[in-house]
Amino acid sequence: IDQTRQDGFDKAIEGSGVKVLDRQFGNWNRDDAFKVMQDYLTKFPKIDVVWCQDDDMAVGVLQAIEQSGRTDIQYVVAGAGSKDMIKKVMDGDKMIPVDVLYPPAMVGTALEMTVANLYGQVPMRGTFTLDATLITKDNAAAYYFPDSPF
C-alpha cells in the first residue's frame, strides 16, 4: 500500500512545480520518522511542507520540527484519521491543517477477500479504489471519536 500511496502522491503533484527534496521510508513508525526528519532538518536549510504516509510517522516528524525550533516548515500532511490528528485539525493547529482518512472499507474489503480465500471461494480479482476523505476543519467533527483507541 505504501507504493500505491507514493504513486498517487507523485501523480497528484505532477506538473505542479512542487519540488521534492528527498524521500525516505519512515517504517510506519514514530521513532524512525523522527530520525528521518532530524536528518532532513540538518540536510535542508529550507523545507516548506512535509508529507507523511501515516499519522504515526507525522507524530515523529512534528516532534523533530518542534525540537529543532525551525519555523520555515508551514505544515505537515499525513493520513490515517487518528483521533489525535483529527483533533489537531478541529482545533486549527497550523501544523496539521488537514488529514486523510483511511476508509474503514479498506480493512473490510481485505477481510472479505481473506475469508473468501479461506473458504475456498474464488478470490476477487481486479483493482479496488476506495475513497480517502480529506479531513478539514469544516468536516473534522464528523470524523472525531474521542473514545476511539486510535
Q: In the chain, what are the domain boundaries? A: 2-143
pLDDT of residue 142: 94
Rounded to an integer, what distance in angstroms lies between the CA atom of residue 109 and that of residue 112?
A: 5
Helices 30-43 + 55-68 axis angle, to 10: 40
pLDDT of residue 60: 98
Rounded to an integer, what distance in angstroms lies between the CA atom of residue 146 and that of residue 144?
A: 6
Contacting residues for 138 by C-beta, under 8 A, at least 6 apart: none
User: CA distances (Å), 9 to each of 14, 32, 35, in order?
Assistant: 9, 21, 22
Which position has the grid cell 482518512?
101
Q: Which of 74, 77, 129, 115 is CA-nearest to residue 99?
A: 77
The tens place of each residue's pLDDT in the chain, 150 residues long, gives 678 778 888 898 899 999 999 999 999 999 999 999 999 999 999 999 999 989 999 999 999 999 999 999 999 999 889 999 999 999 999 999 999 987 655 555 666 666 676 777 766 666 666 677 899 999 999 999 999 888
Q: Which of 135, 137, 115, 133 is CA-nearest to residue 124?
A: 115
pLDDT of residue 9: 85
CB hemisphere CA count around 56 (13 angstroms): 9
For 2-143, which CATH class?
A: alpha beta
Cβ atoms 47, 74 nearer than 8 A: no
